[in-house]
Chain A
Amino acid sequence: MNHSPNSKRYDAIVIGAGHNGLAAAAILAKSGLRVLVLERRGSLGGAAGAEEIFPDCQVSMGAQDAGLFLPQLVTELGLERLGLRWVETPALTTVFTSQGKPLTLWRDVHRTAQEIAQFSARDADRYPRFADQIFQSSAVLADLMTVTPPALPELRLGDLAVWLRPALHARRLGKKAFMALLRILPMSVADYLDEWFETPALKAALGSTSVIGQMQGPRAPGTAFLLLYHAIHAAHGETRSSRFVQGGPQALIQALTQSAREHGAEICAGLGVVKILIEDGRAIGVELENGERLFARATLSSLDPRRTLFDLVGAHNLELHVVREVKNIRLRGSLARLNLLLSNLPQFNIQASEFERLSGHVVICPDLDYLERAYDDAKYGRFSHKPFLDIVIPTLCDPSLAPDGNHLMNINVQFTPRWLEWDDLQRRALLDVVLNTLSTHVPELRQQILDIQLLTPLDLEREFSLSEGDIYQGQMGLDQLLFMRPIPGFPRYKMPLGDLYLCGAGAHPGGGLTGAPGYNAARQVLRKFSAQ
Chain B
Amino acid sequence: MPIPTPFHARTGAICESHEWRNWSGYLAASLYEPTHEREYYAIRNAAALIDVSPLYKYEISGPEAERLVNRIFTRDFSRCAVGQVRYTPWCDDDGKVIDDGTVARLEQNKFRVTAAEANLAWFQDCGYGMAVHVQDVTAELAALALQGPNARLILEPILQEVELKELKYYCFAEGSIRGIPLTISRTGYTGDLGYELWVSPRHALDLWDLLIERGVDFGITPAGILALDIARIEAGMIMNQVDYISSRKALIEEQKSSPFEIGLGWAVDLEKEDFVGRRALIEERRRGSAWRLVGLEVDWNDLEAVFRRWDLTPQVAGRASRSAVPIYRGNRQIGQMTSHTFSPWLKRYIGIGMARSREVREGDAVSVEVTVEYQRLRANAKIVRLPFINLPRKRA
- The segment out of A296-304, A321-329, A396-404 that lies at the interface is A321-329
* CB neighbours of B126 from chain A (8 A): 320, 323
Closest to B279 in A: A281
B368 within 8 A of A: no
* CB neighbours of B93 from chain A (8 A): 319-321
Instruction: Check B129–A316 contact: CB distance below 8 A.
Output: yes
B125 within 8 A of A: yes
| 8 A Cβ contacts from B272-312 to A | 274, 276, 279
* Separation of A320 and B92 alpha carbons in the complex (Å): 8
Residue of A314, A316, A323 with highest tally of chain B CB at under 10 A: A316
Which of A315, A319, A320, A324 is close to B129, meaning CB atoms less than 8 Å apart?
Answer: A315
* CB neighbours of B129 from chain A (8 A): 310, 314-316
Q: Write the A487-508 contact mask toward B (1 if CB under 8 angstroms, else 0).
A: 0000000000000000000000
* Separation of A327 and B126 alpha carbons in the complex (Å): 12
A317 within 8 A of B: yes
Determine how close the nearest CB of chain A comes to the CB of B286; give it in whole angstroms.
15
* Separation of A155 and B288 alpha carbons in the complex (Å): 28
Closest to A316 in B: B71
Closest to A311 in B: B129
Residue of A310, A314, A317, A323 with highest tally of chain B CB at under 10 A: A323
* Separation of A475 and B126 alpha carbons in the complex (Å): 25
* Separation of A310 and B274 alpha carbons in the complex (Å): 16
* Separation of A310 and B130 alpha carbons in the complex (Å): 10
B128 within 8 A of A: yes
| 8 A Cβ contacts from A312-365 to B | 314-317, 319-321, 323-324, 327
* CB neighbours of A315 from chain B (8 A): 128-130
Instruction: Check A320–B276 contact: CB distance below 8 A.
Output: yes
Instruction: Check A320–B274 contact: CB distance below 8 A.
Output: no
Q: Write the B118-135 contact mask toward A (1 if CB under 8 angstroms, else 0).
A: 000010011011100000
* CB neighbours of A327 from chain B (8 A): 125, 128
Instruction: Check B125–A323 contact: CB distance below 8 A.
Output: yes
B186 within 8 A of A: no
Q: Write the B238-274 contact mask toward A (1 if CB under 8 angstroms, else 0).
A: 0000000000000000000000000000000000001
* CB neighbours of B128 from chain A (8 A): 310, 315, 323, 327
Determine how close the nearest CB of chain B comes to the CB of A394; give it in whole angstroms.
40
Interface of chain A: mostly helix, strand, loop or mixed: helix
* CB neighbours of A324 from chain B (8 A): 125
Closest to B126 in A: A320
Closest to B121 in A: A324
B394 within 8 A of A: no
Residue of A310, A319, A327 with highest tally of chain B CB at under 10 A: A319
* CB neighbours of B274 from chain A (8 A): 316-317
* Separation of A327 and B93 alpha carbons in the complex (Å): 16
Q: Write the A230-245 contact mask toward B (1 if CB under 8 angstroms, else 0).
A: 0000000000000000
Instruction: Check A316–B125 contact: CB distance below 8 A.
Output: no
B105 within 8 A of A: no
Determine how close the nearest CB of chain A comes to the CB of B222; give it in whole angstroms.
41
* CB neighbours of B110 from chain A (8 A): none
Residue of B125, B126, B129, B279 with highest tally of chain A CB at under 10 A: B129
Closest to A315 in B: B129
Determine how close the nearest CB of chain A comes to the CB of B95; give it in whole angstroms.
11
Residue total for B at the interface (Cβ-Cβ under 8 A): 13
Determine how close the nearest CB of chain A comes to the CB of B197; give it in whole angstroms.
34
Q: Write the B86-130 contact mask toward A (1 if CB under 8 angstroms, else 0).
A: 000000110000000000000000000000000000100110111
Closest to B67 in A: A316
Q: Write the A269-309 contact mask toward B (1 if CB under 8 angstroms, else 0).
A: 00000000000010000000000000000000000000000
Determine how close the nearest CB of chain B comes to the CB of A280; give it in whole angstroms.
10
* CB neighbours of A316 from chain B (8 A): 67, 71, 129-130, 274
* CB neighbours of A320 from chain B (8 A): 92-93, 122, 125-126, 276
Residue of A281, A315, A317, A320 with highest tally of chain B CB at under 10 A: A320
Closest to B70 in A: A316
* CB neighbours of B122 from chain A (8 A): 320
| 8 A Cβ contacts from B51-87 to A | 67, 71
| 8 A Cβ contacts from B317-375 to A | none
* Separation of A310 and B127 alpha carbons in the complex (Å): 12
| 8 A Cβ contacts from A89-103 to B | none
Closest to A319 in B: B93
Residue of A314, A317, A321 with highest tally of chain B CB at under 10 A: A321
Residue of A315, A317, A324 with highest tally of chain B CB at under 10 A: A315
Determine how close the nearest CB of chain B comes to the CB of A30; give it in whole angstroms.
36
Determine how close the nearest CB of chain B comes to the CB of A274; give it in whole angstroms.
15
* CB neighbours of A319 from chain B (8 A): 93, 276, 279
* Separation of A448 and B201 alpha carbons in the complex (Å): 71
* CB neighbours of B67 from chain A (8 A): 316
* Separation of A108 and B376 alpha carbons in the complex (Å): 85
* Separation of A324 and B274 alpha carbons in the complex (Å): 18
Closest to A323 in B: B128
* Separation of A316 and B130 alpha carbons in the complex (Å): 8
* Separation of A315 and B279 alpha carbons in the complex (Å): 16
* Separation of A314 and B129 alpha carbons in the complex (Å): 8
Closest to B273 in A: A316
* Separation of A327 and B124 alpha carbons in the complex (Å): 12
Determine how close the nearest CB of chain A comes to the CB of B248; give it in whole angstroms.
11
Determine how close the nearest CB of chain A comes to the CB of B69; give it in whole angstroms.
12
Determine how close the nearest CB of chain A comes to the CB of B313; give it in whole angstroms.
53
Determine how close the nearest CB of chain A comes to the CB of B120; give it in whole angstroms.
14
* Separation of A323 and B126 alpha carbons in the complex (Å): 8
* Separation of A317 and B92 alpha carbons in the complex (Å): 14
Q: Write the B124-162 contact mask toward A (1 if CB under 8 angstroms, else 0).
A: 011011100000000000000000000000000000000
* CB neighbours of A314 from chain B (8 A): 129
* Separation of A149 and B130 alpha carbons in the complex (Å): 33
* Separation of A319 and B129 alpha carbons in the complex (Å): 13
* Separation of A323 and B128 alpha carbons in the complex (Å): 8
Closest to B91 in A: A320
* CB neighbours of A321 from chain B (8 A): 93
* Separation of A324 and B122 alpha carbons in the complex (Å): 10
Closest to A314 in B: B129
* Separation of A324 and B126 alpha carbons in the complex (Å): 9
* Separation of A480 and B276 alpha carbons in the complex (Å): 26
Determine how close the nearest CB of chain B comes to the CB of A149; give it in whole angstroms.
22
* CB neighbours of B279 from chain A (8 A): 281, 319
* CB neighbours of A323 from chain B (8 A): 125-126, 128
Determine how close the nearest CB of chain B comes to the CB of A103; give it in whole angstroms.
49
24 contacts between A and B (CB under 8 A): A310-B128, A310-B129, A314-B129, A315-B128, A315-B130, A316-B67, A316-B129, A316-B130, A316-B274, A317-B274, A319-B93, A319-B276, A319-B279, A320-B92, A320-B93, A320-B125, A320-B126, A320-B276, A323-B125, A323-B126, A323-B128, A324-B125, A327-B125, A327-B128
Closest 10 CB pairs of A and B: A315-B129, A319-B93, A315-B128, A323-B128, A320-B93, A321-B93, A320-B276, A310-B129, A316-B71, A324-B125
Instruction: Give the interface of B toward A (CB within 8 A).
Output: 67, 71, 92-93, 122, 125-126, 128-130, 274, 276, 279
Given contacts A320-B92, A320-B122, A323-B126, 6 further A-B contacts (CB under 8 A): A316-B130, A319-B279, A320-B93, A320-B276, A324-B125, A327-B128
